[in-house]
Amino acid sequence: TRKFMEPVALWREPATRPIRVTRDPDASSFYMPNAEFFERLPDPTLQQVVAEVDVTAIPLDHYKMPLDASIDFIKLDVQAAELDVMVGAQRCMEDGVLAVIGEMLFTPHYLEQPWFGDFDSFMRGHGYQLFDIDLRRWRRRALPAAFDGVRVGGVSYGDALYLKDPIAFHLKND
C-alpha cells in the first residue's frame, strides 16, 4: 500500500477559503471556532484564532490520482469540514470507497458547523451504514483536573466508522 501526501485542501467545490489558524494548530479549521462554547472548557485560549490564511481547495472528485490508483478508505479529521469533504467525494464513493472514518462533533465547536446527524444522513443516503463510534468526552471547567482521563464530562466528539454494504455495492455494480 502506497501513501500519498500532498498539500491539497479539500472542500465540497473548487474555492479559495480562509483557514482559521488557532493557537492550538490542531483546532484550525475552515469554520470559525465557537468562543462561547470553548469558554466553558479548562483552557479556552487554545481555540483562539491567531491568523487567517487563504487556501485553494478542491473537491476530492477533482483530485488527479496517480496512475491507476483508487480510493478504498477515507479517514477525515478536518475540524468540522468532514461533510463538506464528502460532498466533494461523491464520485469516489460511487467508484468503490468501502469505508469512511470521520471525526464527528456532538457539541458546538465551530460556528455554523455541520453536526453528526447531518453527516450520518448524508452517508446513509449514499449506501453507508454506521458501524462504530469511538467517543471522546471533555470535562467542563467546573470539574477539577483530577477528572481528566476519567469517563466524565459530556460527549463532545468522536470518530465514526461507516462501511459500505458490500452486498448492495456488488448488486449495484453487476
Instruction: Report pLDDT digits (tens) over 79-128.
Output: 999 999 999 999 999 988 999 999 999 999 999 999 999 999 999 999 99
pLDDT given for residue 7 in this prediction: 76
CA distance 6 to 2: 13
Residue closest to 163 by CA, chosen among 82, 110, 113, 100: 100
pLDDT given for residue 14 in this prediction: 97
pLDDT given for residue 65 in this prediction: 79
pLDDT given for residue 145 in this prediction: 66
Residues of the chain under the 50 pLDDT cut: none
The conformation of residue 11, written as its DSSP 8-state character, comes to -
For residue 66, which phi and psi values (nearest 5 degrees)? -70, 135
What's the predicted TM-score (pTM) here? Answer: 0.86
